[in-house]
Amino acid sequence: MAIELTQKPTILTGDRTTGPLHLGHYVGSLRNRVALQHTHRQFLLLADAQALTDNAHNPERVRRNIVEVALDYLAVGIDPTVTTICVQSCLPALAELSQLYLNFVTVARLERNPTIKDEIQARDFGRDIPAGFLCYPVAQAADITGFKATLVPVGEDQAPLIEQTNEIVRRLNRQIGRQVLLEATALIPRVGRLPGVDGKAKMSKSQGNAIPLSASAEEIAAAVRRMYTDPNHLRASDPGTVEGNVVFTYLDAFDDDREAVEDLKAQYRRGGLGDMALKRRLETILQVLLAPIRERRQALARQSSDVLDILREGTRRARGKTQATLDELRDGLGLFAFRE
Ligand code: TRP
């Protein structure tokens, strides 16, 4: 019991391995993960199996990006001596948990999940939705509960998935008659979702409106230059609109001097503050943030066998943890135990 009380709470979160991570991931979740890794027991999942649910035709892309995302983690300051980084598809217990959980969720409930609805629309599946895609929230519930995580740092688009996870948790615990699985809380950042540089609601690589964490100094400069502001703010002396102005949204997310940002907003609204000056401030902040990340990433990429060692060791540790949860659950459900 004493051990229980002193144990750190567990974090599990992850990313699909479909491409390198960008500033949206940084604001949405990476920043929280770096901050929390010393006070929590943290597992990060390279979600290659989830990535396959809409990339079955392109497994090479999914495989290649395992290392790219791992490099992003390490470059932003994830410390592999305190955070366990692991590869989803190499953890068979998660697949077994998913299979069990699928019986505790209805197809109608899956189709109602707002995140899934949005994603299905964005992907133009039409009537050809891969079954694995529709069911990935169940696999994500397996990810979270398999590690007995109680905290999940994610962007706000993931909130419905945590809700669905907790429904599954309650159903299984009720079926078993005791609390084997734990409910989890989503940790969603204060600033909400970071828009793309073009002002579109979501920053995403496929939309071409993202700033990757590995962006060069020139790419950062170019992205800020083309950033959407107030299209009616033609002269510096004109009054301008702050709402929906991407430069201000980014300053809210990255500028630590909150008071200065509020002053700038007031000045912009009054007139007398030009887009150029505003963008210069943001560009400096982003350059200072991203330069060390980029440099660390380049250095780590030269030692890719070290990165693979980190993933191998992390996956080994995660295998024990997730297998223990599966065993407990099988036992709770009274499944037959010829396993060896
Ligand atoms: N759905 C997440 C994303 O698209 C990735 C993910 C997979 C995840 N498993 C998870 C996030 C478990 C949090 C917890 O980026």
Query: Is the domain of 18 the same as that of 158?
Result: yes
User: Is the pTM higher than 0.75?
Assistant: yes
Mutate to test the pocket of ligand 1, among 11, 32, 44, 50 (most ligand atoms within 8 A of CB): 50
Atom index in ligand 1 nearest the CA of residue 12 equals 14
Centroid of ligand 1 to alpha carbon of 13 (angstroms):
6
Task: Specify the CATH number for the domain of residue 231.
Answer: 1.10.240.10
Is residue 142 within 8 Å of residue 317, measured between CB atoms? no
126 and 242 fall within a common domain: no
314 and 284, same structural domain?
Answer: no
Q: Give CA separation, 308 vs 58, 106, 178, in Å.
A: 21, 38, 39
pLDDT digit of tens for each residue in the chain (340 aa)?
Answer: 455 566 899 999 999 999 999 999 999 999 999 999 999 999 999 999 999 999 999 999 999 999 999 999 999 999 999 999 999 999 999 999 999 999 999 999 999 999 999 999 988 888 899 999 999 999 999 999 999 999 999 989 999 999 999 999 999 999 999 999 999 999 999 888 899 999 987 888 888 899 999 999 999 999 999 999 999 999 999 999 999 999 999 999 999 999 999 999 999 999 999 999 999 999 999 999 999 999 999 999 999 999 999 999 999 999 999 999 999 999 999 999 876 6
Query: Which tokens in the block code for residue 273?
Result: 């503050």
Residue showing tokens 């599946």: 125
Does residue 208 sit within a domain?
A: no
Three-class secondary structure of residue 10 per DSSP: strand
Q: Are residues 160 and 42 in the same domain?
A: yes
Regarding the beta carbon of 52 and ligand 1, being less than 6 Å apart is answered no
- Using the mean position of ligand 1's atoms as its centre, give its distance from the Cα of residue 234 in Å: 42
Kindly state whether residues 135 and 65 are assigned to the same domain: yes
Q: At what angle do helices 275-301 and 217-225 cross, to 10 degrees?
A: 150
Number of structural domains the chain divides into: 2
Nearest to 12 by CA among 153, 116, 137, 126: 153
What CATH number has the domain bearing residue 79? Answer: 3.40.50.620
Contact 143, 14 (CB under 8 A): yes
> Are residues 179 and 56 part of one domain?
yes
- Residue for token digits 């629309």? 121
Asked if residue 51 has its Cβ within 6 Å of ligand 1, the reply is no
Element (H, E) at 44: strand 41-47
Whether residues 317 and 294 share a domain: the answer is no
> Is-contact 276 284, C-beta < 8 A?
no
Residue nearest to atom 15 of ligand 1 (CA): 15
How many CA atoms within 13 Å lie on the side-chain side of 268? 24
> Which domain, by its residues, includes 267?
217-298
Does a structural domain hold residue 221? yes
Domain co-membership, 135 together with 26: yes
CB count in 10 Å sphere of residue 60: 9
Nearest CA to ligand 1 atom 8: 14
